[in-house]
Structure 1
């Protein structure tokens, strides 16, 4: 809206400048006052863009002011009046619905007829002026009809797009639910079959150990311990099947896929310097996932650009870094909101930190987490 208004303003200034330059005589007080009021109305038009009746009255007032400015002096009519009237008609057709713009057209036509009748014009000049107004009004109403059809088409496209997004969200939800149901089914199967059989095996080992000779008891105890470890690992696997949130790299990849389908974001994802092999704990992995999720959500809600780049790296294996980069200017009065503060707090709890870098060209969220090296024991 701001850009369109500035274009209208620039055209008005150019046309009025040439019109005053071509004035046959000096400008009197009446013309200067009417011109000033005309531009005052022009400057306040954006304040009433949603109130079409007020806009209609303002356009009609501007028409009256053109009569006061361009009333034929010495029976000579300024030819640039036609361009100023064309601008007023174009603005009325652009901003107003059809029947209200028709009021401005009728009012404008009446003022034009009055000015043309007061000037000493030849028959040819009257014919050309009449043709100019007729062709102008016809062209503007044709534009309004085309613009109305385009607007209706755009509204239908927006409705279809919203419906498409709803279907995509429903598809993703149903897919996630089906995946979760499958995971739960597999978890129950493991728990009911493998878990119960391992429990029975442990009990049999214990009974066998009680009745075995002393030389075999130590070996049986080792076998029982191995079975108990297998049972514990089975329980952990079943527990992981019941989790609904997936963090780390896998969760970020699923998040990117979801945003690209639902929000039409263009996201590039790169992994550098051993990020896949980084020894992240479950809590650290989930904190990274949440941080990237919050950063991408902020880009989707606040950025003028729909593109983002996500990068993971773990140089040397002692630190894990991530970066979410968006090529778009940040707000000059940017302040960290609740989401970024919560992201910083979550990373600090797992030994990490958060950095925000923003200027007139980009907005970057960087995070890092110190890694604890995991050493395995070998017997």
Structure 2
């Protein structure tokens, strides 16, 4: 049995197995009131020791104590064969083989099999050959399960390491691509400024020199056209020198980045009218950071990797957004530092942020007033 694939699921499986086995043990010991309380006390002690294991560094001694106390209970058992206690001892041994490295677990396996053979043949009268075959077979199965689990752990660690390296390389490639684009924009902006801008400035100066000769009213028109052309060139240069994306393009870029890192899968929907909304640079930055924080929360606390992002326009012209993901945790939800900060920034811009939990889903909604609707 490979316990490590799902920690939460394996915890409940082991818990159910332990309580089932101990229920069988206590029901068998209930017939004799003189030993029942001994078994009840030992059961409590073994459960306490087992659940203290994650807090203890030297686990080998706790496992040996668990196995030793279980063997004592087997020797104290009367009448029928204590199959539940044998199951319990093999369970502890399997756990020990998975957690403890070195010869201690192998020695414990051999000693336990010898004690089981002794108790089954001497105390309970089972055939020696049958007991040996069962113990050898069970020992081989347990040992093989332990080896398979170790191989799985090694593969899992290798996979996590490769995945981490992949994400680092993706982030590095993203940063390099962004830097290259910025350098290319700066180069184009410089070329436009140096070549076209200077030529237009020279053109305006030449028009000024020809002013006395242009008496038919064409001088103001020529100068205005040249000035407008120069202003458009400067505006294009400023746009090329802008570092950050804004609006929907920035959000699409963020979603592509998160999905490229295999972090989450975003179902993005932009409602009718969203692309016509005009937001200031400050509001664009607030919107971007808020949605980024919401997607980060969904990535950290969501029960799966699917996230739904919907952006629309309210009847009063506000930009609205909704981030929704599956959330199975039972503890109450609350705004952390990141969401509290984003809520304050939205309120400063006249918007609002709210969170709620409905039908096992975490829903983050917000709104932000737009500057105006472009015609």
Q: If the length of structure 2 is used for normalisation, what is the TM-score?
A: 0.86
Which residue, out of 134, 141, 152, partners 1:132?
134
Note the alpha carbon deviations across 1:180-211, whole angstroms, 9 max, x for none: 12211211121112211222222233333366
Shift of 1:175: 1.6
Structure 1 residues 209 and 322 mapped into 2: Cα distance closer, same or farther (>3 Å)? Answer: farther
- The alignment yields a C-alpha RMSD, in angstroms, of 2.9
- Does residue 99 of structure 1 match 2:139? no
Matches within 5 A, 1:260-299: 260-299=259-298
Displacement of 1:42 in angstroms is 2.1
1:121 aligns with 2:125: yes
Aligned-residue offset at 1:311: 1.5
Residue 165 of structure 1 corresponds to: 167
Cα displacement (A) at 1:77: 4.2
Q: Secondary structure at the match of 1:199?
A: helix
Q: Distance in 1 between matches of 2:76 and 2:48?
A: 27
Kindly indicate whether residue 356 of structure 2 is the aligned counterpart of residue 357 of structure 1. yes
Listed as ranges, the matches of 1:293-312 within 5 Å are 293-312=292-311
- Secondary structure at 2:270 match in 1: strand
Which residue of 63, 70, 75 corresponds with 1:71?
75
2-structure distance, mates of 1:89, 1:323:
51
Q: Residue 209 in 1 paired to residue 225 in 2?
A: no
Deviation of the 1:362 alpha carbon: 1.7
Query: Could you list the per-position Cα deviations for residues 88-125 of structure 1 after superposition, in whole angstroms to 9, with x for gaps in the alignment?
Result: 32232233335332243244235324434541515xx2
SS in 2 for 1:5: helix
Tell me how far apart the structure 2 counterparts of residues 257 and 211 of structure 1 sit (CA, whole Å): 59
Distance in 2 of aligned mates of 1:73 and 1:243: 81
Report the Cα offset of residue 283 of structure 1. Answer: 3.0
Q: Which residue of 1 aligns with 2:200?
A: 198
Query: Deviations 1:126-154 (Å, cap 9, x if unpaired)?
Result: 22222211111110111111111121122
CA 1:254–1:78 in 2, change beyond 3 Å: closer, same or farther?
closer
1:112 is aligned to 116
Give the corresponding residue for 1:182: 184
- Pair 35,94 (structure 1): closer, same or farther in 2 beyond 3 Å: farther
- Which of the numbers 81, 87, 92 marks the counterpart of 1:83? 87
Distance (Å, rounded) in 2 between the aligned partners of 1:337 and 1:209: 67
Return the offset for 1:167: 1.9
* Matched ranges for 1:212-251 at <5 A: 212-213=214-215, 216=217, 219-251=218-250
Which piece of structure 1 moves more, 252-261 or 310-319?
310-319
Match of 2:319 in 1: 320
